[in-house]
Amino acid sequence: MIFREVEDRDLIAKARRGHVEAYNVLVSRWEKRVFNYLLRLVGQREDALDLSQDVFLKAYQNLKKLDDPAKFPGWLFRIAHNEAYSLLRKNRPEGEMTVEPKMAEASGGLFPIESTLAVRSALAKLSDDHREAVLLKVYQGFKFEEMAEILSCPVSTVKSRLYTALDLLKQTLAPVNSGGAE
């Protein structure tokens, strides 16, 4: 993990000097995570792809403003968060905060397809703020302090959003959980 961090730091340093290929390597490492975060947040694949490209373009243009290369992941996801919310605010009328995501069909895994669809549906029913808290913690593994920086809000707010989201998901997924546990 440390070795990977050093490599990212080296790529960032090269990209800052104008090495586009070094930046492309950095993009290849992070594009899947950023794309899936955006996909689960905005719900539309084409939007998520366009946003991903915008995120990496803005990151490249502002790479010199990144004080500490070790904070690149949080910094990148902060850009992604800002881009996603710009789109969400533009696309949705005030008060309408959730949409049914149109994602690809499940491709199998440890849980049955019903479980995968149920999880997607449960995530889609959350508000954007609650869903984003789950995405950053459960799927991206950020710490509360990092999430607070990404979302520009206090740690207490981050905790409140995540815990509320977990309570809602627990209720929504209860039948699935029971089925999975049996």
Partner 1 sequence: MSCSSDDLKAYVVGEMTRQERGMVDDHVRGCQGCREELDRLNLTQAALVSLEDEEIPRRIAFVSDRVFEPRWWQTMWRSGPVMGFASSALLAGAILVHGFEARPIAVATDAGLTKQISELQAQRAADIAKFNDQLRATEVRFEHQRQEDLATVQQAAEYYQKQVARFEMASNEAYKQ
User: What count of other Cβ atoms lies within 10 Å of the Cβ of residue 51?
Assistant: 24
- The answer to whether the CB of 49 falls within 8 A of the CB of 60 is no
Residue among 64 and 95 whose Cβ is closer to partner 1: 64
What secondary structure letter does DSSP report for 63?
G
Interface mask toward partner 1 for 150-179; x: CB under 8 A: ---------x--xx--xx-xx--xx-xx--
Q: How far is the CB of 68 from partner 1 (least distance, A)?
A: 20
**By the rule CB under 8 A, 98 interacts with partner 1:** no
Instruction: Give the distance, in angstroms, between the CA of residue 98 and the centroid of all CA atoms in the same chain.
Output: 16
Tell me the window of 5-13, 31-39, 67-75, 79-87 that interacts with partner 1 (CB under 8 A): 31-39
Task: Assign 3-class secondary structure to 112-141.
Answer: CHHHHHHHHHHHHHCCHHHHHHHHHHHHCC
Binds partner 1 by CB under 8 A, chosen from 2, 4, 18, 94: 18
Residue 13: C-alpha distances to residues 1, 17, 89, 105, 127 (Å)? 18, 7, 34, 39, 38
Interface mask toward partner 1 for 125-154; x: CB under 8 A: ---------x--xxx---xx----------
- The answer to whether the CB of 120 falls within 8 A of the CB of 128 is no
Binds partner 1 by CB under 8 A, chosen from 14, 44, 49, 85: 49
User: What count of other Cβ atoms lies within 10 Å of the Cβ of residue 55?
Assistant: 26
Residues that bind partner 1 (CB under 8 A): 17-18, 20, 23-24, 27-28, 31-33, 35-36, 39, 45, 49, 52-53, 56-57, 60-61, 103-104, 106-107, 109-111, 115-116, 118-120, 123, 134, 137-139, 143-144, 159, 162-163, 166-167, 169-170, 173-174, 176-177, 180-181
